[in-house]
Structure 1
């Protein structure tokens, strides 16, 4: 997916997720695919734990990384008491007795932490914390652990996070074309025999190098949807902690060995898919069918000149004389969903339709003018002013489009 297409997909998701809040992250969107990609799994964590907000970079995924580094966030995770653990030289060792095996479909934070510790080379680990799939905040869609590791040459924070995405919803892990522009010392991308994609990079805590703290990173994405992200620093904590050693302790080969280890298979199996299940929401309407319906609902003089989008949401280019604009249209089938919470603040009309209007020039949430309608037949329609051109549709016209009885599920 190209960067312009990715931007459109991000925007479509962000402005049409009813009832989930909105945060403008335009800076992260336009800064480039690399900077957005390598931090996406952490930004997801922030968004989900403040209430499921749909930030521009989420693109339908909402899993969380909030284990936090040992020096901070002490109250966010129910961590086991800090203890010292010495691992072998790259080979798995016995799980600590404090991490008892859980039920087959659940992995506890202690188990995730024990797995990470067992895969580290010889050294001392302290201040360990883990988050498992039994965590109520993430609802089984995320697992993570972090430790402070010391191989005798200085302490290092090491963090791992594990998510699972549906097809087409994972992040790209390709390397940037210009390493200097991306402020990286190295980056490699490799396709493994099983079809997994591995990215290994050496960079810095702050891409502008305002501090000398280095961050080395491994990202594994697999055909089964897994995304295993492992980071290490040459400091005992993120963001402002003094450097404790010249470089992070693990080599790139060691990072690769950890993220590709089969020990994570059970964790991956336990993690639920995050994001929106597009298949369940598909109303059975093709882009052509949605365009035909939209065309009939547009006011006189406004025509459709182009379209682009996904199975659920699309941007339609509009024209009125010499003036051009666009409208974002999202049509979902919620007949099989119990998601009424999204419309809890909506106005219920006499015909049973529920309508919710947000955004606009004076909107506090700084989102485009957006009308969401939930029809009694379970079809949810969102009509919003699009990202290109001038606004050609008024609030009343968007409302008429969203509330029209013409929207029905396809075959």
Structure 2
């Protein structure tokens, strides 16, 4: 199985595991949506910045927040040329002592700029309080593993009161793809001392949180963070700990070094504008691949294609994917419908349809599930038409199976599905 096949397999399973959600690190996190989202985001950021597991930052729909919020007098100082030499050479030094050399200014080609990991690290260092910086690492838009969709930095800061791990991650989402943030209803369950979500004058959403690394009291290490989501799709998350490591190290100070106001100042600083402009949007560009059929259009088409006695009781989703709830008498089930325009000659799609069956109208068909060559996947019919429309219909995981593989094939191969509307 090719890497693209594996990706599609994972994606299909993710779409059909409706209601299962994500498995948090600890059961108490179930009560805190913000805590779950923060941990998922931080794990993804840490993987990208430190370990190189960039796929975690790219494969998911991801969520990220940013915005050119209210900067301070240091605006632009972080845009000084990134420290020359390797990231290791930039790992030691004094934070908060930005060089007075001229900083680059935004240009019409700023969106085409390349931001190095050294520059991301230098930007973060210039916005932190003065202190000794060690273990500095940065990853920029020039990192081939990240494909320009993530930038971040990770370092240890000692301001004279003890060492603290500080980490920042930056991504950019298309409209409608950012996840709204809320504070848990029960802060105590999640070991959160304070949490607030505010709207800034420019429309950005800012989360400020003071909590602990573990909600189950296994350790007292504190994590404070600021998460900023901006109207331009930016998402910046800055985390700090009162320990040189987020996990597995003794606490080195009573609290992390930055106050909530300082965390806010860093994530809202205009110095990040250059990085945000250089970032590629993460996730799938649904608008570019949308068929033009609304959820209502898709529900109406399904109503004509479902076998007698099977009805649609609900439909939710986006421009490409729809989760459809079905009923057949007292039996309830579900299916996943994917409707997507594919660019001619798209190599990844061509790989997916290798070995496909040719239909009379020239479309290509792949079947998965029981009765097919790949019985491990849920029953699925995947059709690629000559006009570039891809129609995939898969059995969902909620309820009981309502449709056979042949019925899924009949739905997916129907001419009722429209492209280019």
For the superposition of Structure 1 and Structure 2, which TM-score range results when normalised by the shorter chain?
0.7 to 0.9
Q: Residues 256 and 26 (structure 1 numbering): CA distance in 2 closer, same or farther, change over 3 Å?
A: closer
Q: Residues 313 and 298 (structure 1 numbering): CA distance in 2 closer, same or farther, change over 3 Å?
A: same
Aligned mates of 2:374, 2:215 — CA distance in 1: 31
Q: Residues 119 and 313 (structure 1 numbering): CA distance in 2 closer, same or farther, change over 3 Å?
A: same
Deviations 1:131-168 (A, max 9, x none): 11111111111110111100111111100111111111
Aligned mates of 2:212, 2:101 — CA distance in 1: 33
Q: Which runs of 5+ in 2 are unaligned?
A: 1-5, 65-85
Aligned mates of 1:217, 1:364 — CA distance in 2: 45
Cα deviation for residue 192 of structure 1 reads 1.0
Cα deviation for residue 402 of structure 1 reads 1.8
Question: Is the 1:160–1:229 contact (alpha carbons within 8 Å) kept by the matching residues of 2?
Answer: yes
1:182 equivalent in structure 2: 190
2:35 equivalent in structure 1: 35
Pairing 1:94–2:104 present = no
2:323 equivalent in structure 1: 315
Deviations 1:174-227 (A, max 9, x none): 212221122211111111111111111011112222111111100011111110
Cα deviation for residue 405 of structure 1 reads 3.3
Pairing 1:398–2:408 present = yes
Q: 1:137 aligns with which of 125, 139, 145?
A: 145
Q: Look up the SS of the partner of 2:408 in the other structure.
A: helix
2:386 equivalent in structure 1: 376
Pairing 1:259–2:267 present = yes
How many residues in Structure 1 have an aligned counterpart in Structure 2?
Answer: 373
Aligned mates of 2:375, 2:356 — CA distance in 1: 23
1:61 equivalent in structure 2: 62
Aligned mates of 2:8, 2:180 — CA distance in 1: 26
Question: Where do residues 52-201 of structure 1 align in structure 2 (5 Å cutoff)?
Answer: 58=60, 60-61=61-62, 79-81=87-89, 83-88=91-96, 93-94=98-99, 104=110, 105-201=113-209
Pairing 1:249–2:257 present = yes
Aligned mates of 1:364, 1:207 — CA distance in 2: 42
Q: 1:221 aligns with which of 224, 229, 236?
A: 229
Question: Is the 2:379–2:394 contact (alpha carbons within 8 Å) kept by the matching residues of 1?
Answer: yes
Q: Look up the SS of the partner of 2:300 in the other structure.
A: helix
Cα deviation for residue 361 of structure 1 reads 12
Report the RMSD for the aligned CA atoms in angstroms: 3.4
Question: Is the 2:55–2:146 contact (alpha carbons within 8 Å) kept by the matching residues of 1?
Answer: no
Task: Report which structure shows greater RCO (CA 8 Å, sep ≥6).
Answer: 2
Q: Which runs of 5+ in 1 are unaligned?
A: 1-15, 64-77
Q: Which moved more, 1:358-367 or 1:185-194?
A: 358-367
